Amino acid sequence: MTKQNIQKTACLPEHMATIFMDAVAQGRRPPLDLISLLSQMALSTDIDLAKSASASLYGQIILPLCDDFTSHGVEMANSVLISMIQAFCRTQKGREARQILQDLQLTSPESLLARHRQISKPHPLSHDNRQVVKKAFILSRVTLGADIAITSLIVSRLKKALPAAEIFLVGPDHLHRLFYNDGLHYFELPFSRQGSLLERMMIWPRLYHLITKETNDLAPQEILLFDPDSRLSQLGLLPLTHTPSTHYLCSRQDRAEKL
């Protein structure tokens, strides 16, 4: 392949992402087929193409949709992410993730979205609920700044609300430094915000099995998982424990719009 052809190939994902976002901006139905094609490129064995397509998916599409802070932006970002998840699950390396979703009967976009809507509904913990919880898991927001601003508040409140429970923080190694001597447990999971689609998706099956192993002798009411719109769960779309045990905070929608 000539240098000129390589450059054209590298620019193609960026061009496709621009077409998709132009449709969103103009209020037209965006072509989700482009997301499927971009996802296939992002999962390619061609390293340069995979890098370019992954950057276009997350940088040009997911991030702007999340920064829109509207219900429309949330819904569109979720649809895009589900297309990306499905593309990953169709690959050989996505076989484990595909099997987990099949076991949980969450193979269709509709089922994933229905679950996401369910965990998005507030369900406060009663005094009786808190008394039976044995293990609580908090997902990192991945960036240090977001973990200081958001995750630290969840940690502080849970330590007061669940004094007898074991609390696990899940995410990059900066969590251990940030919450040093807080009596917490850690699941360290390196996560690169510049990582490929494959690298990001491969984290979820590993985390799912870690939490399942840690809780396999507990009843659902003895487990809590707090997901503050984490990249580790693809913004809450991928399950990590029982749906009633999951508390999800969508940070991508303006609070005033929810009221």
User: Measured between alpha carbons, how far is 234 from 237 in angstroms, rounded to an integer?
Assistant: 6
Q: What is the pLDDT of residue 124?
A: 86
Residue 189: name the closest of 164, 217, 213, 211 by CA: 211
Q: What is the pLDDT of residue 254?
A: 58
Mean pLDDT along residues 15-42: 94
The 8-class DSSP code of residue 151 comes to I
Tell me the CB-side half-sphere exposure of residue 54, using CA atoms within 13 A. 22
pLDDT bucket at 240, cuts 50 / 70 / 90:
very high
Q: Is pLDDT of 33 > 90?
A: yes
User: Measured between alpha carbons, how far is 71 from 76 in angstroms, rounded to an integer?
Assistant: 9
Q: What is the number of H-type helices and E-type strands within the chain?
A: 13, 5
Q: What is the pLDDT of residue 81?
A: 97
The better pLDDT of the pair 252, 99 is held by 99
Q: What is the pLDDT of residues 119-174, one digit of tens each?
A: 998 888 888 889 999 999 999 999 999 999 999 999 999 999 999 999 999 999 99
Q: Is pLDDT of 258 > 70?
A: no
Q: What is the pLDDT of residues 178-188, one digit of tens each?
A: 888 778 999 99
User: Measured between alpha carbons, how far is 128 from 56 in angstroms, rounded to an integer?
Assistant: 47
pLDDT bucket at 257, cuts 50 / 70 / 90:
very low
Q: What is the pLDDT of residues 46-92, one digit of tens each?
A: 999 999 999 999 999 999 999 888 888 899 999 999 999 999 999 99
The better pLDDT of the pair 23, 254 is held by 23
Q: What is the pLDDT of residue 51?
A: 93
Residues in contact with 25: Cβ distance below 8 Å, sequence separation at least 6, in sequence order? none
Q: What is the pLDDT of residues 202-224, one digit of tens each?
A: 999 999 999 999 999 999 999 99
